[in-house]
Structure 1
Amino acid sequence: MRTLVIDTSYGSTVGITGYQPITEQDSRTHVEKLQNDIAQACAEANMRPHDIERIIVGIGPAPFTGLRAGIVAAKAIAYATGAQLLGQDSLTGQAAMMQAIHQRNPQALQTPALRNITVPQEPADTIHITLSVNDARRKQLYYMLLTDHNTGSQQFRTLIDMDIDTPANIVLSVTAAVETLQHDNPNTPITVDIAGHGAAKYQETWQQLPNTGIITDHSLLDLDTWGLNTFAELAAHHADIASAPQPVEPLYLRRPDVSIPNPLKHVLNHGTAERKDTLQ
């Protein structure tokens, strides 16, 4: 299907599957460039908006302002064109990236983002776990722990559900999960890879994890055309196996920065002023 991918979980990535995506890393301007980037991606694929049959949109997790821009754009285009709309989270995508690395997928490893990755020699029965992260700011990370052990291609088992926390607390949670998995698989080597934007920033913290493997600051959508195609394939695969259509909603994982305002100050000796919803 002629598929448009839009993701604003970290900067923005826009592209038509089969073609080189357009990426914007500057978080201060990527939203303003989104409309032009979508138009350019369609033009490079020699497509008009009504030629789009499917739209895959990244649903995070990510901060509120940037993430909602991509989702709103995708919903508007789907409404106007009648294209099918599917959501895909970025954290599962990073597990797919690590799976491709360990399988030595040449298309993935030849992308500039992974060209310098060294794939270690490991026993054939090694269980690979991916700690998938994304920068949540405020010295926190969105994270999820997944493995493809005994699952098959593009199938992942969740060991820790998607959440947000500090790197130090994430290490404690992941260590406990690894110990449980090791107990269930004695004498089987386990490697914990860390992938996603923000991974490299806390590299020293990750050394406290048992059997740390590859650490990369990249996500699936950093991997040019192959990454774009794989992101879309994941979303389509999840839609095919779902028992019912899944709503496309953003994953913020953090409560909004709003609070109930304090009462108005006392006016002379007349007590606390009351707020009026309408003018009298």
Structure 2
Amino acid sequence: MLVLAIDTATPAVTAGVVDVRTGRLTVLAERVTVDARAHGELLTPHVMDAVRDAGTSLDQLDAIVCGVGPGPYTGLRAGIVTATALSHALNIPAYPVCSLDAIAAGIDAGAPFLVITDARRREVYWAAYDGAGTRTDGPHVDRPADLDASLTERVEHAHPSPRGLVRAAREALLNDQPAAPLTPLYLRRPDVAQPGARKRVTVP
């Protein structure tokens, strides 16, 4: 099974092709660029480069795994729209995963830990995990000072890897489970809001 993994929930633009045909996860190719302003510009080229470098083509992919946040509105939208479009065009499932779970999937901590990413506005997105990497709390958005001080083991400001994304969805992929909707985890309202009614500045 060839799986395309993409994530735009952090400042990183991530795309990769992972082979799970043998039950093991083998990263055939990946492209990662850390640029919070270039998700829309770089994601599709990264996807095409990763597919080419993996020695395959889009029509040979079996599934897509997409990180759905938590993350900023604009960045998440780029990844989820791309995954949705490719899923429809190629007639293959697109599996959502929490981007923090994907980061945790690449960690062998052996003890409880937090995964933390930058939420801007002097806040962070975070989730708590046990020693096996299973989420026990979150995801949430809070100020760093409000996090659980008892958990000293922290993974901060990281980004998901293609391997971590696919590992987080591995059970669903291998069991051929139906894909859930690609619902973004914003955790707060977007910065952009509809303007209100105009104030009257003249006297009738």
| Range class of TM-score, shorter chain | 0.7 to 0.9
Measure the CA separation in 1 of the matches of 2:177 and 2:91: 22
Q: 1:169 to 1:13 in 2, by over 3 A?
A: same
Q: Is the partner of 2:29 in helix, strand or coil?
A: coil
Aligned residues: 195
Is 1:164 the counterpart of 2:98? The answer is no
Alpha-carbon contact 1:195-1:219 (below 8 Å) kept? no
Contact 2:29 2:54 (C-alpha < 8 Å) held by counterparts: no
* C-alpha separation in 2, matches of 1:164 and 1:264: 33
1:140-194 residue CA offsets vs partner (Å, 9 max, x unmatched): 000111213xxxx56x141x32110100112xxx24xx5xxxxxxxxxxxx6311
Mapped partners of 1:101, 1:129: distance in 2: 7
More strand by share: 2
2: CA distance, partners of 1:37 / 1:237: 26
Residues 97 and 219, structure 1, Cα contact 8 Å, conserved in 2: no
User: Residue 202 of structure 2 aligns with which residue?
Assistant: 268
Cα displacement (A) at 1:78: 0.6
Over 3 Å counting, the alpha-carbon distance change for 1:259 and 1:26 in structure 2 is: closer
For 1:94 and 1:140, how far apart are their aligned partners in 2?
18
Per-residue CA deviations over 1:38-70 (Å, capped at 9, x if unaligned) read 111111112221111110011111101011101
Identify the residue that residue 14 of structure 2 maps to in structure 1. Answer: 13
For the 8 Å contact 1:94–1:196, the answer to whether it is kept is no
* CA deviation after TM superposition for structure 1 residue 268, in Å: 3.3
Q: Flag the structure with more relative contact order, 1 or 2, with Cα contacts below 8 A and sequence separation at least 6.
A: 2
1:61-72 → structure 2 map (5 Å cutoff)? 61-72=70-81
| Residue 193 (structure 1) aligned with residue 153 (structure 2) | yes
Please tell me whether Structure 1 or Structure 2 has the larger radius of gyration of its CA atoms: 1
CA contact (8 A) 2:5 2:66 kept: yes
Unaligned runs of 5+ in 2: 19-26
> d(CA) in 1 for partners of 2:176 and 2:17?
24
Q: Which runs of 5+ in 1 are unaligned?
A: 103-127, 179-190, 198-217, 222-227, 271-280
Paired residue for 2:63? 54
Residues 167 and 51 of structure 1, relative CA distance in 2, 3 Å threshold: same
Alpha-carbon displacement from aligned partner over 1:81-112 (angstroms, at most 9, x marks no partner): 011210111212232333x254xxxxxxxxxx
Structure 2 CA distance for partners of 1:33 and 1:245, relative to 1, 3 Å: closer
- Decide which structure has greater helix share: 1
Shift of 1:8: 0.7
Cross-structure match for 1:32: 41
How large is the Cα RMSD of the aligned pairs? Answer: 2.4
Match of 1:255 among 164, 167, 189: 189
Q: Could you tell me which amino acid in structure 2 is paired with residue 237 of structure 1?
A: E
Out of 226, 229, 232, the position equivalent to 2:166 is 232
Q: 1:101 to 1:19 in 2, by over 3 A?
A: farther
Question: What is the alpha-carbon distance in structure 2 between the residues aligned to residue 130 and residue 139 of structure 1?
Answer: 21
Equivalence for 1:119: none
For residues 224-244 of structure 1, the C-alpha deviation after alignment (integer angstroms, 9 at most, x for no partner) is xxxx23420221325678997
